[in-house]
Structure 1
């Protein structure tokens, strides 16, 4: 079980670095808002983070 948790943490950190490299500080803030909203079960914070990420994705595509 600890190996699975370590692998998931490594993937999360890797994804976070990818978002930061591609979308800058705003992307990392949106990703953190999304994860904080999911962990706290707060739909407003998670929704704001998700919307900002979608807007960044749409802008670059």
Structure 2
């Protein structure tokens, strides 16, 4: 059981680092808002995080 928890923690931290590297600090803020909203069962917080991530992925429409 501790091995699974350790492995999942490593994967989560790795994913957060990937998002921060790819999309910068605002992408990390969006990911944190989404995670906190899901944990706290707050639809507003998770929706704001999802919108921020969607805008980061979509990028500027040129």
TM-score (norm 2): 0.90
The unaligned stretches of length 5 or more in structure 2 are none
Q: Which has the larger radius of gyration?
A: 2
TM-score (norm 1): 0.92
What value does the CA root-mean-square deviation take over the aligned residues? 1.1
Shift >2 Å, 4+ stretches: none
How many aligned residue pairs are there? 60
Q: Cα offset for 1:12?
A: 0.4
The unaligned stretches of length 5 or more in structure 1 are none
Q: Which has the higher helix share?
A: 1
